[in-house]
A and B are shown apart, each in its own frame.
Chain A
Amino acid sequence: MASPPSDSRGKVRKKRQESLRKEKENDIQEHQSSDEDPGETLKRTIRAQRQRRKKLLEQSQEDTENVVEDISPFQHKDEDAEETARATEPAVWSTPPRAKKSLSNLPPIPGSQHLDDVMTQRLKEKFQAARTRVEKIHRQESSVKPTSRLQKLKDRETVTRFDREPDAEMQDISQSLSTRVKFREAVRKTDTGIPTAEEAYNFFTFNFEPEPEESEEQSKKSPTKQRTAGEDEDSEKEEQEEQEESDIDRANQDEDHNEEAPLVQDDRDNLFVTEQSTEDFIVVKKAEYIGYHKRLQHASELLFTPSLRPVPTCVKLPENIKPRYLEDEGLYVGERPPVSLTNENILENRLLKSAEGKKWFGDDGRIMALPNPIKESSTRPPLFHMEEELDPALQTVFRKPVMSKQENAYFAGVGDSAGDFQLDVDVSGLIFSHHPLFSREHVLGSRLVQLYDQYLNRQHNNLTGRLTEKLKGLRTALQNMVEIHGEENLTEAQQKRILEYNVEIKDTRQLRDREQEKDRTLLKNIIKVWKDLKTLRDFQKFTNTPYRLQLRREIVDPELDEREYEREIMAEIIELELEAEQEYKRKWDDYKTQLDKWKLWRKKQKGKKKKSMKNKRKDTEADSEDEDFSDSEALDEEAPPKPEVPEKPDLNSFEQNVREKASRIRRKPGEPILIPELSATGNITATEQCPRAEVARRMDVGRRMLFVRIIYNDKEVSRTDSCALNSDFRVHFGQIFNLRIINCPQSICLQVFEEAGTSSSLLTQVFIPVPEPSVLTGSAPIENFEFSSNQRVTFDHEGVGSDVPLSFEADGSNKITLLTSGKLACCVSWAIGDDDVPLAPPVSQQYGGTHSGLGHLDAVSFIGASGLYDLKKIGEWAKQSRLDPNDPKNASIMQLLKVASSGEVTAPDYFRLEQLQDEFNFCTDEELDSSKRYKLLRLRNQGVPEFRNYKCVPALEREVSDNVFLDYEKRLKEGDVVDTKQHLDSHRAFVASYLKKIRESVINRFLLAKHRYLLTDLVVEEEIPTIGGAGAGLLGINIFKLAEPKRPLKPQRKERKKVTAQNLTDGDIKLLVNIIRAYDIPVRRPHNNKGPPIQTSQGDLCQIQVRPFVEVSFQRTVLQTTTAEGPNPSWNEELQLPFSAPNGDYSTANLQSVKDEVFINIFDEILHETGTSDSDKQKSIHTRIERHWLGSVKIPFSTIYSQSKIDGTFKVNTPAVLLGYSKERSHNPNGYDGSVSGGAFITLFITIEPQLVPGESIRERFDSQEEESLLMAADRFDREAARSHPDRPCLTTVIDLNGKTVFITRYIKPLNPPLDMLSDTTEPMSMVARFVSLIPSLPDRVSFSGNCDLWTTCDQFLTFLAGDEEEHAVLLCNYFLFMGKKAWLVIGTAIPEGPTAYVLTYDQNRYLIWNPSSGQHYGQYDTFCPLQTVGCLVDAHNVWFNIQQYSSPMRMSFDTSKTNLWRPFFSRSFAHPGLSSVQPEQMVYHSTDKSTTVELQDRIEKILKEKIMEWRPRHATRWNRFCCSALKQFLPKLEKSGGQDLAEGHRHELLSLLGDHKLDSRSPSPLRLRLTHTSMALRQLTPVRLSFLYMFDYDLSKY
């Protein structure tokens, strides 16, 4: 094959499909050819095939011989096919065609040649005859068979086979035509019966070679082939042609084969040769083949193929019911959803096949369907720009669903005292007018009763009599009128009157006649039924019913009667004559006018004719059009019909008619008046005397019980007792049910149930109208509600059953069908309460909730009263026009009508948006405000701090104590009025209140964000262990852990489980402080006699320079370590301090705002022996332990909380002057330079147990005035930074005080420090740093309770006098820039602050790192520099992110020009857009006046003194005035030294000053004085005031 197999396969399939299509068009030739020559012709189109075929048709005539030869062997194979097959392909019986094929390709085998032509010819004829026969059969079937099956069979060919043996397959296909003969034979054979034993044996035991599959496949295909054959034309000639054609094609193909694929064929032949060896072992049998015909039969047994044909309507409906078309009856029927007709037919056929299939069909015989819900046009405006923002007008709004049904409509006002409504349902009894258990006699009896009832009713109404009287009256009136006025002088009005009278008389007469007739027939019927009943009784010889009819005769005077009768008839005749005459007159007039008209028309016609004749004559050759026109014109004028002369009324016939009628409808004159009287006094035959069937019926009746269920608003509320059915088919219940209701009554329904034995069945249900509110119990009459049921019931006893035809005639004609029916006597009314108040809804609300609930919702009533005036009219109109209530178009009108019909509508004269709000209001707003309890609940719900955790809000108003709100209200009041006393001066107070306001607004802003949860907040999940990789390769480490020692010498700290703070309670949290060691603790100065008051004992303690211990105090808990020795002690002790949150609130926000600090103080323990006492028997030594404060470290709790642990070495704050101590320099020659960071250090590890989850930063984006591109770039920059170096903080945008995002460089700008600060000192930088550091520090998270970082500008900062590290750093940086230094803001992490901001300066070829909050500076290579990580540098123009390997300042370069070390934010690709600064142009400082300073100084001193005295309650504290003043003198000097260590001279001076005074050793006054001094000194320098209070607290808390 030229084309690759897969390709050819596709083509084959394509071709097949093509052929299929063709087949449908009955183009069999096409089909066959396409089916036959897949090999070469695959590549060609159909058209090409046709052309080729035509061309070859002529030249292939001589090939017919070959055809004969080709076919002949098949005939032989009928007998010895198996052998031939075995000879070529042993395992396959169906492969002979292929063998043949191969033979035909090869030089012909001699065996096939020796068959003589005659024989061949005969066989061929036989074969064709047989084929046509089979074809006939198949054609019948094939017409039914769907084409899709064919397709399936064809598609089933497996792909692999094609791949394996493409050539063979092609040949098979090409041969299929010739092989079909064979198959047909096989079909016929297998059709006849079951496989033989041998075949069966082979089937189970035979080991099939791969080939058989192929053969099977072929056999599968065979039906297809046969079927196609079946569709063949009958004529032999065509057959012949077809074969010729196929042979031509084959020949053609053979050529191709010979040309292109001889190799493959050879291969195949070789293959078979090798397989021939197995032939002896294998018995080859025909495969099992079930004939197509038979299979179809089987299939038809199992399968149901719904027909496509429409189903006749009568099949779909119950018998004897004509389809009912609601649409024709004028009702609205929605449009059905479109379904294709075939699908609908299929579905209908399918449904009908199923049991109860008919229930799917509606009255009109179609499948029930809801109206098509799809609107024709889209009601939603099309969205053209999906990606763009929606037009705000088109934004969708969520609306709560509104209950459309009125199910839950409650009476308004339920729950009020008047809200009790009660319905009384009185079910009194039940009378059956027909019941299945009726005997025939009962049927008649009930009919008699009915007729008698009717009679009584008529008699009561006496319509006939009344009409007769009326007629009489009219006649006399007319007569009078005529008599009085005479015939002549009648005015027009009177004539009209008379006419009217006449008409009225006529109408009345007719009415009376009708009534009389009815009366007469009724009477007749009664008598007839009674007669029937009597005959029936006689016939059956027993009586079932007690009815007896008696006819009373009323004798009348025959003469009078006769006269009356005649007079009546005469009067009628006269009237009729008169009428007839008038009628005739009218008709005659009509005739006249019409005749005139007609005559006129005739004249016209004649004139026209003449005219046209003239015209014709005028122009003989006139265009026919004109003539036509005139003709048509003439025709157009319709000829008025020639009126007929009205007949004269036949007066004689009147009398005859009247008399006939009278005799028919009236009692004959003289005949007595018959008055029937029905009584139920007859005797019923006793049961014993009745025949068996009747006894069975009576028994059955006795077993029947009936009860009634009361259904209110579709819910069963009650049911009556079961009552036995009486023999007269009456049931008496006599029960009254009281329904207390709050739902508006929608429906009241009584369901009648019949119980026979244990089973009960619903007989019928009766709907009872909801009574008007005025219908009250007692006054309401009992009404009879008729009911009927169409259940079919039949009995085998005397009971006539229901819905069963029944005849009373002897011949069975005149059948009637009776349905169970009867009357239910009941009464529904509104109850009357105890105090005679009707328990009915108010009149305005009547018709229940239909209006009380929804009526208020009704649009019309809300528009206002204006629309309501016309409501009545609308109602009238709607009634007249008979609106279809089903039509949705009318829905609004129908609702309107309901409103209208309810009578009075109380429409509010305002428009309300939330109509139901009032009903849902818990109580009025005033109540809510005035009630203390509600207020308490509300405040708690709002999360007001005072009440957030308020437990047990009292249940009753009076129990809420008045002073609950005192604090709260006080706080509210204080919001405005600031207490100046608490603060040192008014400015501070003002700032404090301002800060509070900001804080509140910030809290409000973050309230929302607080409620956003992350998975980690709720679920504890192990981190996924990463295998290897950078950082924590947990899984890898875990493996190594196995080999780890169980108790390592230096254990690593492990990550602990984090605990969400909110679930904690008091005592759960502990603060762990691990004090490891300290360096360079000041040592005692070897004292001389003049020295400080420390009197160390002479003995053993002399060698010890210092005995330090550490005391940790936190939240009133003080713990201390053991005492160590020497200036470099090592404690390695863990102290546990309990932590309790304020108000017991352990929420994250609250914990963040905890302001407590951890104080770590280092003391020196000194033992004094106070001497010995001999008073006791033995000598005892009293030792006094003194402790001398050496220094302290303080760490705020908020830092610990946010960092979760603090680990590092801290510089101990030591007082400037420590009397009696000297600092020991570390004299390590190769160590670090002690001069840079002289002082004591302590190594600590602090953490919280359990580990608390630090508050998340707000996950919210703030609005900004920055450009979008800048923000995007900042975002990107941050993200990349976080990705590459997650531990290095990167800050590009910050939030300003207004909550807006601001780019960070805007904060950097040179700003002037106070002038005198620069001029005064020799070291301006340190001076400035000190100045900045003295501004109190207040972490943002403390002040704003959320983990947000607000940056204030420098002037704001100085106004607030509070800020955290960033503000300090910015201010310091700006000062430095003003001073002409190179300065950057360093964003990094430090201990203990965590993420913070420092300032970096470059001066004199070295980088200095400034801690803005302490004023200290460190060299780049200082080991004790608290700055641990450098994240990024910021200056006024750019931000650089640290991308170096190391982040520690010691190991990195600060050269920002190197882009491989520092990644700039603004680069050439993204240039600096020229951001202006947010800082003010210039700082303005005000100098303080002396007096306030002095005042402040006094105040501070006073507070200090008071505090000290307070702390020593047991001793009188006396102040040495001289000492104080001396110290005060000394203070300015101290300040001048700028907090640096005092020079020796200073100390000596101080010592000499203080030398004579013995100070309390426990009050290291120099420190305190220094503080005072410091503040005072600064006070003089700057307008900035310092927060002393913090410092005081700090100092005092130490004691």
Chain B
Amino acid sequence: MAAVNPAVFLLTVNGQIEGANFPEYDNLYCKYCYVYGHDWTPTSGLEEGITQITSKGSMSNKLIWNFPLETTFKSTSPSGWPQLVVSVYGPDVFGNDVVRGYGATHIPITPGQHSRTIPMFVPEPTWRLQKFTSWLLGRRPEYTDPKVVAQGEGRGVTRVRSQGFVTASFHIITKDMKKLGYDTGPSTTQPYSTDWSAD
């Protein structure tokens, strides 16, 4: 197994979508998927998932999903590093299932434990009457694809409103990255070495 000259490196993402903080909404669930570049292939684990519906406790203001993430990617180059895309849905006043937020974050590149708070946002209706009717009919604007939030192209034409936060924790393990010349690990030499970019 221990190849002397590996051709690919592996990135194992363990972790969980811990929960969310949407002060105004309740009974939400979350969908997640990964967006990655051409050189990446998921080798094991779920690429997409959908959580249970969670409602807030009487004491807490936080939604807890604790939805596990376990995916291993393999890749040949760091370009197109995987991003976790989460989208949160839940019922509105009239019981229609509407989107409550989109968000994305890169999978942390350094091995170890990380916690990420992902700010969420939703597209805004183009004008006010639209806003009203979309509220009334429960058909709010959505992205054609949640993966849009992981890419930069074309975002300039949209307008969004910020909604809340989703927290996710990651435990990252990488394999063979150093052998392929990518050093992402924290440097262990001098305390001053935060400024060391290359060695």
Contacts and interface: CB of A to CB of B under 8 A. Distances in A.
B133 A1015 contact: no
B153 A1060 contact: no
B77 A955 contact: yes
B7 interface: yes
A1019 B144 contact: yes
Contact of B148 (A741, A955, A1018): A1018
A939 to B, nearest CB: 12
Interface stretch (B51-59, B87-95, B108-116, B121-129): B121-129
Contacts of B127: 1024
Contacts of A1018: 123, 143-144, 148, 154-155, 157-158
Contacts of A1022: 130, 133-134, 137, 139, 141
Contacts of B38: 940, 949-953
B5 interface: yes
Given A717-B190, A956-B180, A1018-B143, A951 B77 contact: no
Given A951-B41, A1060-B144, A742 B196 contact: yes
B174 interface: no
A952 B76 contact: yes
B7 A959 contact: yes
B7 A954 contact: yes
Contacts of B6: 955
Nearest to B124: A1019
A717 B193 CA distance: 9
A1021 B157 contact: no
A1019 B143 contact: yes
B75 interface: yes
Interface string A699-715: 00000000000001001
Given A740-B190, A952-B38, A1018-B148, A1024 B143 contact: no
Interface in B1-55: 5-9, 38-41
Nearest to B130: A1024
A98 to B, nearest CB: 56
A739 B192 contact: yes
Contacts of A1060: 144-145
Contacts of A937: 77, 79
Nearest to B179: A955
A1471 interface: no
A841 to B, nearest CB: 16
A1014 B156 CA distance: 9
B193 to A, nearest CB: 7
B189 interface: yes
Contacts of B189: 740
Interface in B53-103: 75-77, 79
Contact of B192 (A715, A950, A952, A1020): A715
A125 to B, nearest CB: 76
A274 to B, nearest CB: 55
A688 B79 CA distance: 75
Interface string A732-743: 000000111111
Given A414-B198, A951-B39, A955-B180, A1020 B133 contact: no
A1019 B190 contact: no
B142 interface: yes
Given A953-B39, A956-B7, A1019 B145 contact: no
Contacts of A718: 191-192
A915 B184 CA distance: 29
**Contact-residue size bin, chain B (C-beta under 8 Å from the other chain):** 35 or more
Given A952-B39, A1019-B144, A712 B192 contact: yes
Given A953-B76, A1063-B145, A1024 B129 contact: yes
A743 to B, nearest CB: 6
Given A414-B198, A1017-B154, A955 B76 contact: yes
Interface majority SS (helix, strand, loop, mixed), chain B: loop
Interface in A11-44: none
A358 B132 CA distance: 57
Nearest to A1013: B154
B153 A1021 contact: no
Contacts of A1480: none
Kindly name the residue among B123, B142, B144 whose own CB sees the greatest number of chain A CB atoms within 10 A: B144
A1025 interface: yes
A1314 to B, nearest CB: 51
Contact of B158 (A712, A953, A1015): A1015
A717 B129 contact: no
B130 A1021 contact: yes
Contacts of A742: 195-197
Given A742-B197, A952-B38, A959-B7, A1021 B126 contact: yes
A474 interface: no
Interface string A710-751: 001001011000000000000000000011111100000000
A1011 interface: yes
Given A742-B196, A1024-B133, A1019 B153 contact: no
Contacts of B39: 951-953
Contact of A1020 (B142, B180, B193, B197): B142
A414 B126 CA distance: 52
Interface string A990-1028: 000000000000000000000101110111111011000
Contacts of A414: 198
Interface in B150-199: 153-158, 180, 189-193, 195-199
Contacts of A1011: 153-154
A1300 B137 CA distance: 47
A1059 interface: yes
A757 interface: no
Contacts of B198: 414-415
A63 B126 CA distance: 79
Contact of A953 (B77, B143, B196): B77
Contacts of A743: 195
B195 A1020 contact: no
Nearest to A1060: B144
Contacts of A1059: 144
Contacts of A712: 192
A953 to B, nearest CB: 5
Contacts of B196: 740, 742
A1248 B196 CA distance: 56
Interface in A951-973: 951-956, 959
Given A712-B192, A951-B38, A952-B75, 15 more contacts: A718-B191, A740-B190, A742-B197, A937-B79, A940-B38, A955-B7, A955-B76, A955-B77, A959-B7, A1013-B154, A1017-B144, A1017-B157, A1019-B143, A1020-B141, A1060-B145
Interface of B: 5-9, 38-41, 75-77, 79, 123, 125-127, 129-130, 133-134, 137, 139, 141-145, 147-148, 153-158, 180, 189-193, 195-199
6 contacts: A951-B41, A953-B39, A953-B77, A955-B7, A956-B5, A1024-B130
Listed from nearest, the 10 A-B pairs whose CB atoms lie closest are A1013-B154, A955-B76, A1021-B141, A717-B192, A1022-B139, A415-B198, A1063-B145, A1019-B123, A1015-B157, A1019-B141
Interface of A: 414-415, 712, 715, 717-718, 738-743, 937, 940, 949-956, 959, 1011, 1013-1015, 1017-1022, 1024-1025, 1059-1060, 1063
